[in-house]
């Protein structure tokens, strides 16, 4: 499976014609875009889509598709891509950060670089009016989880003041260490919640990735409802395989979305599945319709 970071680099560096050809040609993409019909949204879920999952489709085309469907955000974009989202009247509900999945806050030797970088990026995110920037714990590499908590809290406390000043959330993603990200530290909800409590700022919360947490611990709905105050953002994905969130996988997303809506959650739910179907944009529309409860 292609990594998120590789997909982002590929998408950012691809020329429009080359990317379109990879997706089946300019004409095929235009036809797929033309076939998209708006989803009659109910307004209880704020919808986003992760750009890296559509690396073969030019960002401009993805933004047009999102706008046509009724999606409010295209996310996991870097500063050079933010103007494209703005051009189409979209937000970037989760901005790319400056750390990496394996290189995060759990090692104090990373703190100086991370602090300087986040202090620079957070005001940029705020100037665009975007709400969140992503961050990661880093890998264990033999480190006990308690030590990781202590180190992460120590570093994050040094930047939450900047986040509070600019009203931007720093959001740590929960990922699975069983299938996709071996050795990643923030791989259970309880660990992430404890970190949020130790940091003690309304501007530091969790990205609850439903796909990843189903693999690690299951019990999705109860866990979400018990911890909704610590969660700023959600990602989707089909289990197993990280493909479409339809009847081919083990999670029933309408029930999960109803629980999220009932909780009073006001943030975004982003589609982060990798389309397996030929018409990727139609697959995205189907997922949004399924999640709009």
Statement: residue 249 has pLDDT above 90: yes
Mean pLDDT of 267-286: 96
- Ranges of each domain in the chain: 4-291
Tens of pLDDT, residues 31-74 = 888 888 889 999 999 999 999 999 889 999 999 999 999 999 99
| Residues 6+ away with beta carbon under 8 Å from 5 | 100, 101
Lowest-pLDDT choice from 23-37, 40-54, 225-239: 23-37
Quote the CA–CA distance of 94 and 133 in Å, as a whole number.
Answer: 5
270/262 Cα distance (integer angstroms): 18
Instruction: Supply the angle between the helices 253-262 and 220-227 in degrees, to the nearest 10.
Output: 20
Q: What is the mean pLDDT of the chain?
A: 92
Give residue-wise pLDDT tens across range 151-193: 999 999 999 999 999 999 999 999 999 999 999 999 999 999 9
The CATH H-level superfamily of 4-291 is Divalent-metal-dependent TIM barrel enzymes (3.20.20.150)
Confidence of residue 3 (pLDDT cuts 50, 70, 90): low
Q: Which residues pair with 74 in a beta bridge?
A: 49
Residue tagged 């006990």 (tokens): 144
Alpha helices in the chain (DSSP H): 4-13, 16-22, 26-35, 59-69, 82-87, 111-128, 145-156, 160-166, 189-199, 210-216, 220-227, 253-262, 280-291
Q: What are phi and psi of 143, to 5 degrees?
A: -75, 135
Angle between helix 280-291 and helix 253-262 axes, rounded to 10 deg: 50
């Amino acid at each position: 499976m292609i990594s998120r970071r590789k997909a982002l680099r590929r998408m950012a560096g691809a020329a429009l014609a080359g990317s379109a050809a990879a997706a089946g040609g300019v004409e095929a993409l235009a036809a797929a875009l033309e076939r998209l019909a708006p989803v009659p949204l109910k307004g209880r879920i704020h919808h986003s889509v992760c750009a890296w999952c559509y690396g073969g489709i030019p960002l401009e085309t993805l933004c047009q598709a999102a706008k046509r469907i009724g999606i409010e955000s295209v996310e996991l974009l870097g500063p050079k891509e933010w103007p494209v989202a703005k051009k189409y009247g979209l937000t970037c509900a989760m901005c790319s950060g400056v750390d990496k999945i394996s290189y995060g806050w759990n090692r104090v030797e990373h703190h100086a670089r991370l602090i300087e970088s986040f202090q620079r990026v957070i005001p940029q995110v705020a100037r665009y009016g975007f709400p969140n920037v992503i961050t990661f714990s880093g890998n264990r590499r033999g480190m006990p989880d308690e030590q990781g908590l202590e180190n992460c809290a120590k570093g994050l406390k040094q930047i939450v003041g900047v986040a509070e000043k600019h009203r931007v959330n720093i959001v740590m993603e929960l990922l699975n260490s069983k299938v996709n990200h071996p050795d990643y530290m923030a791989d259970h909800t309880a660990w992430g919640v404890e970190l949020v409590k130790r940091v003690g700022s309304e501007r530091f919360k969790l990205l609850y990735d439903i796909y990843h947490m189903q693999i690690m611990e299951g019990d999705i709905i109860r866990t979400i409802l018990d911890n909704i105050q610590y969660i700023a953002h959600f990602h989707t994905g089909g289990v197993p395989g990280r493909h479409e969130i339809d009847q081919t996988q083990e999670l029933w997303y309408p029930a999960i979305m109803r629980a999220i809506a009932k909780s009073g959650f006001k943030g975004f739910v982003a589609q982060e599945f990798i389309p397996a179907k030929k018409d990727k944009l139609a697959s995205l529309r189907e997922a949004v319709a399924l999640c709009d409860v």
